[in-house]
């Protein structure tokens, strides 16, 4: 791939690897019934849903263009998907199962704030074997600081009520928690809260500059040190409670160290176009980062590369818009590989973070990388090197200029 980016003739199209689609993210609506302070999604007050015909068209394109992987995760995300309604999502789930369920192993997933969960939703989830992610930032004083409803009231009680119903009903459930500066002094309380709730899987999202969210409470060197300290205390709880709940990021580092082959430029699936495919409510599609669906350049241009209604996905990589994007994007990945010794765990970072933080794609380290990759890796490596006698699992790389 490197030689492709060094062509003297910039007008010559790159041969960009495409698919297969392992992760498909459908954004059925941008509307949300709450108003989180750090949300990256634009137009959260705008109602309207993706027509079901687009769900059918998407499935047809995945089949017709031979883009289905042997396993495909279809995730309903962005805004609050449950505001689309029970009838709508029940039919949408039916379409996906009917169209592609016999051609690939499909896992349906939905990400929700949990406030609208009731027994009917649970019945739908169980019928379609939907995995449900609930956004919950920890104890009430942490959660309600940033996740308020449209009348500025905290959403904690409604979210926890919904989560408990899911757990009690045996629905396959996980939690995503955004970590802000407010979280950093409460590592033990934070972990024990989720342990007491019976949460099995917990994903942590350091508050990011991403999409339309242009600031983060975790910016600054002093805060980064506090974040490292938070992770050390959190990992101690994680060990004490025997990984109950499992933390997605610590599991990822563990698997990378002990079970996975290091990522290289040649093997990096994250640089394959439409390995991750995002479709917005109007049928526009993008790739590499779901947040790109709502982002724009300084000139007001979007990062949508086609529309499911009219444009072949494989053909979109040949357009000048995609080619220019990919050149800059891959140059950034190459720079990451050259400069950063954490590349084998990361693969070059998400382009949406690079754009939101710097306005460019052809850059390397970002604050998101330091928080979401390096900090978790350092904490894990310190632990494993301390418990495995006479064996150094992996040294912490020195920072390079």
Among 245, 91, 99, 73, smallest CA distance to 176 is for 245
pLDDT at 182: 95
Rounded Cα–Cα distance for residues 389 and 145 (Å): 43
What number is the average pLDDT over the span 16-23? 93
- 116 near 150, Cβ under 8 Å? no
More confident position, 341 or 11: 341
C-alpha 217/C-alpha 345 separation (Å) is: 25
Give yes or no for residue 10 having a pLDDT over 70.
no
Tell me: pLDDT of 196 over 50.
yes
Q: Give residue 36's pLDDT band: very low, low, confident or very high (50, 70, 90).
A: confident
| Token pair belonging to 236 | 């101690």
Summarised one tens digit per residue, pLDDT across range 59-106 is 999 999 999 999 999 999 988 999 999 999 999 999 999 999 989 999
The reply to whether omega before 20 is within 30° of 0 (cis) is: yes
**Closest-CA residue to 365 (of 392, 400, 396):** 400
Ramachandran bin of 242, using left for φ above 0, alpha for ψ from -120 to 50, beta for the remaining angles: left
What the block records as the tokens of 20 is 């297969």
In this model, does residue 390 exceed pLDDT 60? no
Contact 140, 186 (CB under 8 A): no
Q: Of 19-28, 112-121, 135-144, 391-400, which gets the smallest average pLDDT? A: 391-400
Identify the weakest region by mean pLDDT among 31-35, 247-251, 256-260.
Answer: 256-260
Tell me what pLDDT residue 296 has. 87
- Please give the domain boundaries of the chain with CATH numbers for all domains: 17-258 (3.20.20.70)
CA distance 214 to 249: 24
Cα 398 to Cα 18, 339, 340, 342, 401, distances in angstroms: 34, 11, 9, 10, 10
- Give the sign of the dihedral formed by CA 111, CA 138, CA 249, CA 240: negative
| C-alpha–C-alpha distance, residues 198 and 272, integer Å | 37
Report the 10 Å Cβ neighbour count for 83.
18
| Location of structure tokens 């980062």 | 289
Q: How far is CA 275 from CA 37, 82, 111, 192, 279, in A?
A: 30, 26, 20, 36, 13
At 320-366, the pLDDT tens digits run 999 999 999 999 999 999 998 888 888 887 899 899 899 999 999 99
Query: Residue 375 pLDDT > 90, yes or no?
Result: yes
pLDDT greater than 60 at residue 18: yes
The answer, yes or no, to whether residue 211 has pLDDT greater than 70, is no
Q: Which of 201, 257, 188, 215 is nearest to 40 (CA)?
A: 215
pLDDT tier for residue 11 given thresholds of 50, 70 and 90: low
**Contact assessment for residue 30 and residue 77, using Cβ atoms and an 8 Å cutoff:** no
Answer whether 105's CB lies under 8 Å from 72's CB: yes
- Check pLDDT > 80 for residue 398: no
**Residue range 42-65: mean pLDDT, rounded:** 91
pLDDT digits (tens, 9 = 90+) for 267-322: 677 788 999 999 999 999 999 999 999 888 888 899 999 999 999 999 999 999 99
Question: Can you give the pLDDT at residue 46?
Answer: 77
Spatial separation of the C-alpha atoms in residues 306 and 300, rounded to whole Å:
17
Q: How wide is the angle at C-alpha 278 spanned by C-alphas 275 and 284, nearest 5°?
A: 125
pLDDT at residue 9, as a whole number:
41
**pLDDT tens track for 101-133:** 989 999 999 999 999 999 999 999 999 999 999
So what's the pLDDT on residue 395? 53
Percent of the chain surpassing pLDDT 70: 91
Q: Point out the least confidently predicted range of 195-199, 230-234, 337-341, 347-351.
A: 347-351
Tell me how far apart the alpha carbons of residues 263 and 12 are, in angstroms, rounded to a whole number.
28
119-128 vs 156-168: helix crossing angle, rounded to 10: 50
Mind listing the pLDDT tens digit for each residue in 180-192? 999 999 999 999 9
The mean predicted confidence, pLDDT, of the chain is 89
> DSSP class of residue 374?
I
Of the candidates 3, 4, 25, the residue with the CA atom closest to the CA atom of residue 14: 4
292: Cα within 13 Å, side-chain hemisphere: 30
CA distance linking residue 82 with residue 121, whole number of Å: 9
Report pLDDT for 401.
39
């Amino acid at each position: 791939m490197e030689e492709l980016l060094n062509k003297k003739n910039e007008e010559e199209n790159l041969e960009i690897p495409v698919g297969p689609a392992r992760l498909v993210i459908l954004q059925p609506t941008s509307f949300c019934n709450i108003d989180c302070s750090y949300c990256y999604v634009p137009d959260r007050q705008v109602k309207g849903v993706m027509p079901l015909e687009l769900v059918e068209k998407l499935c047809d394109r995945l089949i017709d263009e031979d883009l289905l992987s042997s396993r495909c995760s279809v995730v309903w995300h962005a805004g609050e998907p449950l505001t689309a309604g029970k009838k709508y999502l029940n039919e949408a789930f039916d379409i996906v199962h009917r169209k592609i369920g016999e051609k690939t192993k499909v896992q349906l997933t939905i990400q929700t704030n949990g406030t609208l969960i009731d027994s009917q939703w649970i019945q739908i989830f169980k019928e379609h074997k939907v995995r449900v992610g609930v956004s919950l930032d920890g104890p009430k004083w942490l959660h309600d600081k940033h996740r308020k409803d449209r009348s500025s009231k905290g959403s904690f009680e409604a979210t926890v009520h919904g989560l408990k119903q899911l757990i009690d009903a045996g629905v396959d459930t996980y939690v995503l928690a955004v970590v802000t500066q407010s979280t950093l002094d409460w590592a033990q309380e934070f972990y024990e809260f989720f342990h007491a709730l019976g949460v099995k899987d917990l994903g942590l999202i350091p508050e990011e500059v991403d999409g339309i969210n242009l600031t983060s409470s975790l910016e600054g060197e002093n805060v980064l040190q506090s974040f490292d300290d938070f992770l050390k205390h959190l990992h101690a709880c994680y060990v004490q409670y025997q990984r109950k709940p499992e933390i997605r990021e610590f599991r990822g580092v563990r698997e990378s160290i002990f079970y996975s082959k290091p990522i290289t430029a040649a093997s990096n699936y994250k640089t394959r176009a439409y390995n991750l495919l995002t479709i917005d409510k109007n049928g526009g599609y993008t790739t590499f980062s779901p947040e790109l669906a709502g982002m724009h350049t300084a000139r007001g241009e979007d990062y949508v590369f086609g529309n499911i209604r009219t444009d072949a996905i494989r053909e979109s990589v040949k357009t000048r818009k995609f080619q220019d994007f990919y050149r800059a994007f891959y140059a950034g990945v190459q720079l990451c590989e050259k400069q950063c010794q954490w590349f084998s765990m990361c693969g070059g970072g998400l382009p949406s973070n690079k754009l939101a933080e710097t306005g460019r794609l052809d850059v390397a380290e970002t604050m998101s990388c330091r928080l979401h990759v390096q900090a978790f890796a350092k904490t894990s490596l310190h632990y494993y090197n301390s418990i495995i006698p006479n064996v150094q699992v992996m040294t912490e790389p020195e920072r390079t200029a």
